[in-house]
Amino acid sequence: ELKVEQNPLFLSMQEGKNYTIYCNYSTTSDRLYWYRQDPGKSLESLFVLLSNGAVKQEGRLMASLDTKARLSTLHITAAVHDLSATYFCAVDIVPGTYKYIFGTGTRLKVLA
Amino acid sequence: DTGVSQDPRHKITKRGQNVTFRCDPISEHNRLYWYRQTLGQGPEFLTYFQNEAQLEKSRLLSDRFSAERPKGSFSTLEIQRTEQGDSAMYLCASSLGGRVGHNPSEAFFGQGTRLTVV
């Protein structure tokens, strides 16, 4: 059974600090997606990682993918309060189909 | 707004009643997906369509659930004889896919329909 696990599940951090969220998956997928979800809202696409070694950065967030280790990371640099949200990684059940298996989510709270 | 649109945004219903949700995908997208998200969990795949054809249904989709996409555009998700365990956010997403020469990217999600069964 395909599993996608994130850690930590909860993260409380001070503004200005750095931290990394980890996403491990159990299938041989070369595609991984990161989404952000605010409370009561839908999913906002952050990054699409399409190959081994892919690295993408947007503002204070940087995502990377290591398909051999079946690991993706979402690194937060100098966190600000606006980054408070739940972050999900997702893997295609069948690559390229967008039938996703989502991770458990990481609930991030950035304290002022 | 050219994103994925879902209606209604919120629905409260009594146990045993039937409910129907609608999803309008991004207009040029040929694939449409339904997911369910319960509180504190990630979304779970329910079913997806390519054009009007329903290509796959998750085992999570019991006999009480039915989805249609009759003209390959909007889709409906109906839940019959609702149970309290059906309370969740129902998310619709759409994407391009399955076309020769197409460079796939990702699925885009709607705002969701939050169902509460009392």
Mean pLDDT of A7-20: 95
Q: Using CA atoms, how far apart are residues B117 and B115, in angstroms rounded to an integer?
A: 6
What is the pLDDT, as a whole number, of residue A98?
78
**If pLDDT is split at 50, 70 and 90, which confidence band does A92 have?**
confident
Q: How confident is the model at residue A7 (pLDDT cuts 50, 70, 90)?
A: very high
What are the chain B neighbours of A96 within 8 Å (beta carbons)? Answer: 97, 104
**Mind telling me how many Å the CA of A33 is from chain B's nearest CA?**
8
Q: Please determine, for residue A97, whether its predicted confidence score (pLDDT) is greater than 80.
A: no
- Whether residue B2 has pLDDT greater than 80: no
Does residue B43 surpass a pLDDT of 90?
yes
Q: Does residue B111 sit at the A interface (CB-CB below 8 Å)? A: yes
* Distances A12 to A56, A60, B30, B36 between C-alpha atoms, Å: 24, 16, 40, 27
Facing A45 at nearest CB: one of B44, B108, B112: B108
Distance from CA of A34 to the nearest CA of B (A): 10
Of B42, B95, B112, the CB nearest to A98: B95
| B58 burial type by CB count under 10 A (0-12 exposed, 13-18 middle, 19+ buried) | middle
Place of tokens 């004889």: B81
Q: Which of A9-18, A97-106, B97-106 has the lowest mean pLDDT?
A: B97-106
Distance CA B2, CA B24 (A): 10
Residue B22, strand partner residues: B7, B76
pLDDT at B97 over 70: yes
Percent pLDDT > 70 in chain B is 92
Q: What's the pLDDT score for residue B98?
A: 58
**What's the mean pLDDT in B37-51?**
92
Beta bridge partners of B88: B115
Please report, for residues A97, B36, B48, B80, the alpha-carbon distance to residue B77 in angstroms, rounded to integers and kept in the order given: 20, 11, 11, 10
* DSSP notation for A19-78: EEEEEEESS--S-EEEEEE-TTS-EEEEEEE-STT-EEEETTEEEEEETTTTEEEEEE-S
Query: What distance in Å separates residue B107's CA from the closest CA in chain A?
Result: 6
Can you read off the two tokens belonging to residue B111? 């705002």
| B contacts of A98 (beta carbons < 8 Å) | 31, 33, 48, 93, 95, 97, 104, 106-107
* Mean of pLDDT values over B86-95: 95
